[in-house]
Chains A and B, each alone.
Chain A
Amino acid sequence: MWRGEREAHVASKSESRARARLARAGRWLARGVLALLFLVGAYVSLVPQGRAAARATLLLPALVTQTQPAALVASGEPVRHTQLVVSSRSGPVFLDVYAPTAGPPPAPGVREAVILISGVGDNRAVPQLINLSESLARAGLVAVQMTTPALLSYTLLPADADAVVAAVMATGNLPGVRPARVGILGFSAGGALACLAATDPRIRDSLAFITLFGSYYDARSLLKDFGRRALEENGQLKPWHPQLVPIQVLANTIATTLPSDEGKVLSDAFAQGAPPLMPAQIATLSPPAAAAYHLLAGDQPDRVDANIAALSPQMQTLLTALSPSTVVGELQTPIFLLHDRNDEFVPFTQSRAFDASLTALGKRHEFAEFGIFAHVEVKSGLGIGALVDDGSRLFRIIVGLLAPAS
């Protein structure tokens, strides 16, 4: 009996000791949680890289899901949308400004601005672009969508680089923005204009960054890819079938070098639903126009080099003037290159070539290929694996883009 009592006493004592140990461990665990939360809170608010990471954390889901997460709406700035028109040597530049209604906070005392060149066509009412612009503004940036009459009419002109410069300068003068905090995000054909503008002496030394998403590097090699209906990856040709829109853009662009009636024939040949030109119609075209037609139609894949050589001097000059490869040596700003691996508008090999040139020249840049986009738009119904893999790469790039804001 006495022995049993002693055993029970020992058991209860060791049980209470274990409970005390557990409570002590719980207290230390809670202290660790407090310390961790403190470090996270201080890093996210006081350290510039932390602020950029916090912004990226809320912007990434906004980008991928194409809706603004509740946390971004609740904690973000109220946004005001205004429209401006500025003039450039190539004509009017239409700006849609999405900006926080309040002025910049004392830390860092200035806002970053991003100029979004959404490529050809009128994309100003496209929900994905509005969502991106509003999300950036909610995160404290000034997002400026820009376009020009040429871009609206699916045409790419070297003179529009001046429109980009005008947009950058106008944005640098917006309240709360400083020129050194202005960067450009060029989608598709807009990326080429961003590159051309980035070498302009008026903004070359102040531009914060340029980001090219689904853009081309060299217009002549792009035209070759269209002509072959194939892209060259690691020295091997692989079938590639472009969408109609980039063909239309190249047709409209090359048509600007032709007499108006011949230019119209070339443009109309690639209009939506237009049948291919008959041999008799092609025979009426000048040799350069016929060569351009075959390159765009992809009906002479074995004669691509001959057709490129048959382009007129004006066409050759235009292709050179529209190519970032022409100005790559003059680029001084940090460059981010993003490309969809299965892009049907611009082959991803264009960005690979750009990356190789920038690497060879020792220029500051970052390059990432993705599978979650279709050209420059987020695909729907993505698997978690693809999202995690591409999402982490995208996150790193977004943090880099947001550094000037922080």
Chain B
Amino acid sequence: MLVLALGWVAVGLVVGAVALAAGLRPPMWGARGWLGVLGMGIGAALVGGTLGTLLFGRFFSTAVALWIAIVAVVALALAPRLAALRQR
């Protein structure tokens, strides 16, 4: 299980890094915002991996960790923009 969790952490890190490259960093997070995006990726991947294990079994947990981490970092980046749009 530890190896599996380390795999989810790696998946979260990769997703966070790609999200940063995609410019999905919330502007209000300042200079250290990149750390937040990576942390969000890792946290969401861990949550997704755990959910995946419970719902689909160990075998598919990493795939669930992957798409949940992506949903989380995209939602994180889009939420402030959507809020700003609504305010306008």
Contacts and interface: CB of A to CB of B under 8 A. Distances in A.
Contact of B61 (A40, A42, A75): A75
A42 B70 CA distance: 11
A139 B59 contact: yes
Given A37-B70, A51-B60, A45 B23 contact: no
Interface centre among A28, A41, A55 (most CB of B within 10 A): A41
B79 interface: no
A114 to B, nearest CB: 16
B70 A75 contact: no
The SS class assigned to the A binding surface is helix
A81 B73 CA distance: 42
Nearest to A72: B59
Contact of A27 (B21, B53, B56): B21
Nearest to A26: B21
B70 A77 contact: no
Contact of A45 (B3, B60, B73, B74): B60
B55 A106 contact: yes
A140 interface: yes
Interface in B6-43: 7, 15, 18-19, 21-24
A74 B71 CA distance: 25
Interface in A47-104: 51, 54-55, 74-77, 100, 102, 104
A336 B18 CA distance: 42
B56 to A, nearest CB: 5
B58 A77 contact: yes
Interface residues of B, number: 30
A39 B65 CA distance: 13
A34 B15 contact: yes
Contacts of B19: 30, 34
A105 B56 CA distance: 5
A102 B66 CA distance: 23
B59 A41 contact: no
Contacts of B66: 37-38, 40-41
B59 A75 contact: yes
A237 interface: no
A74 B58 CA distance: 9
B4 A75 contact: yes
A38 B18 contact: no
A238 interface: no
B76 interface: no
Contact of B18 (A37, A51, A77): A37
Counting chain A CB atoms within 10 Å of each CB, the highest count among B53, B57, B71 belongs to: B57
Contacts of B73: 34
B64 A45 contact: yes
Given A33-B18, A37-B15, A37-B66, A54 B59 contact: yes
A40 B65 CA distance: 12
Given A31-B22, A75-B58, A77-B57, A44 B63 contact: yes
B50 interface: no
A29 B8 CA distance: 23
A30 B67 contact: no
A74 B7 CA distance: 9
Contact of B57 (A31, A38, A40, A102): A102
A381 to B, nearest CB: 31
10 contacts: A30-B21, A31-B23, A33-B22, A41-B64, A44-B60, A75-B4, A102-B57, A107-B56, A139-B59, A140-B59
Interface of A: 26-31, 33-34, 37-38, 40-42, 44-45, 51, 54-55, 74-77, 100, 102, 104-107, 138-140
Given A34-B70, A34-B74, A45-B67, 5 more contacts: A30-B23, A38-B71, A41-B65, A41-B70, A76-B59
Closest 7 CB pairs of A and B: A41-B67, A41-B66, A30-B22, A30-B21, A105-B57, A45-B63, A44-B63
